């Protein structure tokens, strides 16, 4: 039960990071409606989305323990579901290119960070492949 709770908590924490990071990017970008859409700003946003996805995926993997990969995949699926609904319902102020960038950049970074690096030391020890004492 504790292991599943950690996995659920990892997904929740990861999504809080994603939602908070996206909110910060949106507020920074759209706080002044006079900002032009320029290549440096778009590049900075794309890099920010990549870092955000990496941090969220890595956090979910580290917190989840035994269910690290599953938690990262669930986090990516949740982010995809919410952003797809956001695109379909058009409920947010962001332009379509930003929402698409979240799907194309952030979600793969969540998956890569969540799957990369193998299992945590606790999982390796439980499987018997960790250091023997």
16-58 pLDDT per residue, tens: 999 999 888 888 777 766 566 778 888 888 999 999 999 999 9
pTM of the entire structure?
Answer: 0.80
Helix, strand, coil percentages, rounded to 5, for the chain: 80, 0, 20
Burial classification of residue 49, based on how many CB atoms lie within 10 Å of its CB (0-12 exposed, 13-18 middle, 19 or more buried): buried
Domain residue limits, the chain: 2-119
The pLDDT, as a whole number, for residue 119 is: 55
For residue 103, the model assigns a pLDDT of: 93
Confidence of residue 133 (pLDDT cuts 50, 70, 90): very low
Confidence check: pLDDT of 61 > 60: yes
What's the rounded Cα separation, in Å, for the pair 111 and 26? 23
What lies within 8 Å, CB to CB, of 114 at 6+ separation is 57, 58, 60, 61, 68, 69, 71, 72, 73, 75, 76
**Per-residue pLDDT band at 94 (split at 50, 70, 90):** confident
Q: What average pLDDT does the chain have?
A: 83
Pick the more confident residue, 74 or 132: 74
pLDDT of 106-120, one tens digit each? Answer: 999 999 999 886 555
- The CA-CA-CA angle for residues 90, 92, 93, to 5°, reads 110
């Amino acid at each position: 039960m504790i292991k599943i709770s950690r996995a659920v908590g990892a997904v929740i924490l990861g999504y809080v990071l994603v939602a908070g990071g996206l909110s910060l990017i949106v507020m920074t970008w759209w706080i002044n409606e006079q900002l032009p859409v320029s290549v440096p700003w778009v590049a900075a946003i794309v890099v920010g989305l990549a870092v955000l996805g990496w941090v969220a995926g890595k956090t979910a993997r580290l917190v989840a323990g035994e269910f690290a990969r599953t938690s990262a995949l669930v986090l990516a699926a949740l982010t995809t579901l919410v952003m797809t609904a956001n695109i379909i319902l058009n409920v947010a102020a962001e332009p379509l290119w930003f929402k698409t960038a979240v799907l194309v950049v952030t979600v793969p970074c969540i998956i890569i960070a969540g799957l990369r690096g193998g299992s945590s030391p606790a999982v390796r020890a439980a499987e018997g492949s960790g250091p023997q004492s």
